[in-house]
Amino acid sequence: MSDDVVIRAENISKRYRISHLAGQGTLRDTMHHMARLAWRRLRWNSKLNREDFWALRDVNFEIKRGEVVGIIGRNGAGKSTLLKILSRITEPTTGRITLKGRVASLLEVGTGFHPELTGRDNIFLNGAILGMSRVEIRKKFDEIVAFAEVERFLDTPVKRYSSGMYVRLAFAVAAHLEPEILIVDEVLAVGDAQFQKKCLGKIQSVAQNDGRTVLFVSHQMNAVQRLCTRAIVMQNGMIAADGPAHLIINGYLKQSAPTTASRDLTGNDVGRRGTGVARFTHIELRNHEGRSSPEILRGEPVRISISVHATKRIPNATFGFSFVTADGVEVMGSTATDEGISHELSAGVHQFSCLVEPMILNPGRYYIRAAIFSSSEVFDHIDEMIGVDVLSAASDQAHAPGNHWVGHVYLSYNWKHEHHSP
């Protein structure tokens, strides 16, 4: 292992063994068979079947010192299992992981915290786990507390913290106690937008200024694009692609958010996050002729229809969407409240429809991002709902053949040329 390689995965596979009980018709039957589970394991009869599920299959990669690598993929692709192996939380079934340096992991809310201890105690506990002395931790203590914004609750047991407070303190500890390798999962999505921005800035600083290695898992392609120079796509427990972040993200988006006139959003494979109290269920695009189509002419109207299902009454909800470039930049968007539509969602299905007229995006591939949220809670957030191809209008070629589009938004220009003889 060369000096600049700090993480090496060699033929990593992880198998889970899933047991299935044959269907019993009544609760009494089920309890009877559960009581005899140990005996069935010994005798292995037809009432119990096993299935091998491979969460990872022959994963190989190397990561060098100072690299910031984004790991992306749909839910169930193997991302979290890989991070747990890298964090030494679980062991691979086959293969070997080699790590150089201390590893700090932020995989889920409260990872590494003792719920009965105070925030102050947990800072020192986490530092000790990372191999730091009490003196070293004290040097960073004030900086950690200030970053986490938990001064008032520092001597409160962390079991009484909200999920947001948990994440703020956990990230502050992981980022400031100077591990050589920092592993961050989608847990940052729990925090508010301001804190997420603060965390991303810290990760960027840690990598660029301190030369530490960062593994970053996220469904937010704009965050991966901003932070990472390299991206790895996980699919069905294997590495599907590995390379420069902007190229990998472009290819992934074309796969994960297809250009189609409508899309069912009821599943969990669309890269969503949120509490689920309200969720998107369907999206449809209609062009200037009123037909379902993922292809929109520049300068023509487009209607976007989105269905939402709320499991209970939400008194203060905001719904909105935006057009996003392939590299995650939000170009333009709107919320229903901009038009004075009620904040309240009653339980049941809601239909939202928005007419964008005219379409001012320049020709190219875009994606629709949407969210339902309140001031304190994200109910559903999907980064890439659907792909949209904006095409040149017929008049573009008729009036100005060979257009050179600059930027993402079309504005009407009126050029004049005057020539004066010398």
Among 196-200, 254-258, 272-276, 283-287, the least confident range: 254-258
Over 90: is that where the pLDDT of 328 sits?
no
pLDDT of 61 > 90? The answer is yes
Range of lowest pLDDT (45-49, 278-282, 358-362, 410-414): 45-49
| pLDDT given at position 398 | 46
Residue type, position 292, single letter: S
Residues 404, 220: Cα–Cα separation, whole Å: 30
More confident call, 78 vs 257? 78
DSSP of 42-57, one letter per residue? HH--TTEEEEEEEEEE
Report the CATH number of the 5-24+51-253 domain. 3.40.50.300
**pLDDT tens per residue, range 43-53:** 554 445 567 88
What is the rounded CA–CA span in Å between residue 111 and residue 114?
9
- Check: CB of residue 74 under 8 Å from CB of residue 235: yes
Q: What does the angle CA 272 – CA 275 – CA 281 come to, to the nearest 5 degrees?
A: 50
pLDDT above 90: percentage of residues in the chain: 26
Q: What is the mean pLDDT of residues 295-324?
A: 90
In CATH, what class is 262-399?
mainly beta
Of 124-128, 328-332, 378-382, 385-389, the range with the lowest mean pLDDT is 328-332
Q: How confident is the model at residue 401 (pLDDT cuts 50, 70, 90)?
A: very low
Q: Which of 109, 72, 99, 111 is nearest to 213 (CA)?
A: 99
**Residue 204, C-beta contacts closer than 8 angstroms, at least 6 positions apart:** 68, 226, 227
Specify whether the CB–CB gap between 355 and 303 falls below 8 A.
Answer: yes
Highest mean pLDDT: which range of 82-96, 245-259, 401-415: 82-96
pLDDT for residue 21 is more than 60: no
Res 49: pLDDT? 58
Among the residue ranges 71-85, 146-160, 313-327, 330-344, the one predicted with the least confidence is: 330-344
pLDDT for the residue 375: 77
The string of pLDDT tens digits covering residues 349-375 is: 999 888 998 888 888 888 899 999 887
User: At residue 94, does pLDDT exceed 90?
Assistant: yes
Query: Please, which residues have CB within 8 angstroms of residue 82's CB and are 6 or more apart in sequence?
Result: 9, 12, 56, 59, 71, 234
From 123, 59, 49, 121, select the one nearest 86 (Cα to Cα): 59
**pTM over cut 0.85:** no
Please list the residues that pair with 53 across neighbouring strands.
Answer: 16
Provide the β-strand partners of residue 409. 361
The residue with tokens 């901009």 is 338
3-state SS of 216-255?
Answer: EECCCHHHHHHHCCEEEEEECCEEEEEEEHHHHHHHHHHH
For the chain, the domains span: 5-24+51-253, 262-399
- pLDDT tens digit string along 201-235? 888 887 777 788 999 888 777 778 778 889 999 98
Identify the pLDDT of residue 19.
63
Q: Is the dihedral of CA 96, 101, 107, 113 positive or negative?
A: positive
69 φ, ψ to 5°? -115, 125
Could you give the CA distance from residue 270 to residue 124 in angstroms, rounded to a whole number?
39
Q: What is the pLDDT of residue 232?
A: 95
CA distance 90 to 103: 14
Average pLDDT, the chain: 82
